[in-house]
Amino acid sequence: MGCALSPRTSSPPAAAYESLSLWHATAGEDWSPRSRLPGAVDVDVAVVGAGFTGLWTAYHLSLLDPTLRIAVLEREVAGFGASGRNGGWCSALFPASPEHLARNRGAHGGRDGALRQLRALQQSVRDVGAVAEVEGIDAHYTRGGTLSLARTPVQLQRLQATVRHARAWGQGPEDLELLDGAGARARVDVADALGATWTPHCAAIHPARLVRGLARAVERRGVDIFEHTAVRKIAPGRVDTDTGPVRAEVVVRAAEGYTGSLAGEGRTLVPVYSLMVATEPLPDSVWTQLGLARRETLTDLRHLIIYAQRTADGRLALGGRGAPYHFGSRVRPAYDREPAVFGHLEATVRELFPVLDDVQFTHRWGGALGVPRDWHASVGLDRSSGLAWAGGYVGDGVGTAQLAGRTLADLITGRDTEIVRLPWVGHRSRQWEPEPLRWAQINAGLRAMGAADAEERLTGRPSLLARAMSPFIGGH
């Protein structure tokens, strides 16, 4: 998400923001920063971070109570971080399993709680599109769903197990449809596809257009957004910035992958990098061959995750994991670019679509996302301190952040609604291990997933390495 954290020596000019990603370059923005916080202020709610979590929180608060004084504090500009440069999937994915959700929160957990959480996330995908329409945000929102391909017999076994698991958790064919090889290839021209699932619960979006439009919608409702304002410390009733304190009854931490830069939060979420590449715009004749006619988002069942979409201007944008975690949870602009990972992603595009063997790649970028120790996103408000938080989306935050914002708005205004009783509300993840343990653990996990894919290609059997590493990388 956006960041409003420790101070930097200088902030980049507006033109530098355009170079952050394809999305920043094509958002139709000049990226000139808003005004800095002018000095000490008193507000009702202070929100740290002008990404999706912070902006959705401010948006829904302003709808529920227009009299609230709300300030959003951002070190860079709204949409600088993962909210502006992600894969453009607005999905109902959640990093923790239904089984894990069912174990949460006593009466709020159980099977019923997990099912309510799944349905709430599915509704959030639709809500994002509805708000974009109401607010006149041209976010290139198209709810074409997600295709997940099986391209080896082992992946096909995993795909079938995924469908059985979904059925056990109340997801019928209308939520997750199983396609055979011919059905998969009719949707997307991947010659070795043995099968696929399709879910309608995902929209392809232009994330920078969405987050910037949301920032303007928030301002129209009287919320103040202060950019180029670095937060030094969060405490009950107070946010210390480089230009003065902000006193507030409620303080919302919405910093996601940048959370570790806040005092005392170094082991709350770790920043893990995900990188992307995008092709030049492809002619309609090529897309007729490739498919994705509904702008379905696309992935496959490999262990080292990839994700792709057909953009509204006809590009193929594909991203994936594989970039290293950096010691001490460091986040640096240089880490956004890993030539070896870019090379792997470009090779993946050509592997999936041989017709694109000579395609030109015009954009390469990356950024940090936030990962909690148990891979369980959460949202909550400690009423005794007035400190609220949301995050830990593990890369699935575009839709989840909308639900987080609605939930925080209800919690802060004291509304007793269905969503404040979802099992992720109030969940507390344990802290990450101190260094160098977490550096060794996280990077071992990242390397293991690549090795697990190689193991399956060699043996033709499910990876033993992936099974062994599952408890350490979010498996439950």
Give the bridge partners for 277, in sequence order. 318, 364
For residue 473, pLDDT over 80 is answered with no
Chain-centre distance of CA 75, in angstroms?
A: 19
Tell me, what's the pLDDT at 95? Answer: 95
Average confidence (pLDDT) over 324-330:
95
Asked whether the beta carbons of 178 and 171 are under 8 A apart, the reply is: no
- Whole-structure pTM value: 0.95
Average confidence (pLDDT) over 131-151:
98
Tell me, what's the pLDDT at 226? Answer: 98
Structure token digits, residue 330 = 């460091």
Average confidence (pLDDT) over 36-46:
97
pLDDT class of 209 with cuts at 50, 70, 90: very high
Tell me, what's the pLDDT at 181? Answer: 98
Structure token digits, residue 290 = 């490739």
Domain 142-205+271-372, what architecture?
2-Layer Sandwich (3.30)
Do 14-131+206-268+373-421 and 142-205+271-372 share a fold? no
Amino acid at 62: S
Give the strand pairing for 306-310 and 316-320.
antiparallel
What are the tens digits of pLDDT across the range 385-403?
999 999 999 999 999 999 9
CATH domain 14-131+206-268+373-421 topology: FAD/NAD(P)-binding domain (3.50.50)
Average confidence (pLDDT) over 346-373:
97
Residue linked to tokens 């639709």: 126
Domain ranges of the chain: 14-131+206-268+373-421, 142-205+271-372, 435-476
pLDDT over 70 percentage in the chain: 95
The rounded radius of gyration (Å) of the Cα atoms in the chain is 21
Tell me, what's the pLDDT at 10? Answer: 46
**In 3-state terms, what secondary structure has residue 419?**
helix
Walk across the sheet containing 306-310 and list its strands. Answer: 177-180, 195-199, 146-150, 297-300, 306-310, 316-320, 270-279, 361-371
For residue 447, pLDDT over 80 is answered with yes
Average confidence (pLDDT) over 15-41:
96
Tell me, what's the pLDDT at 9? Answer: 36
Average confidence (pLDDT) over 35-61:
98
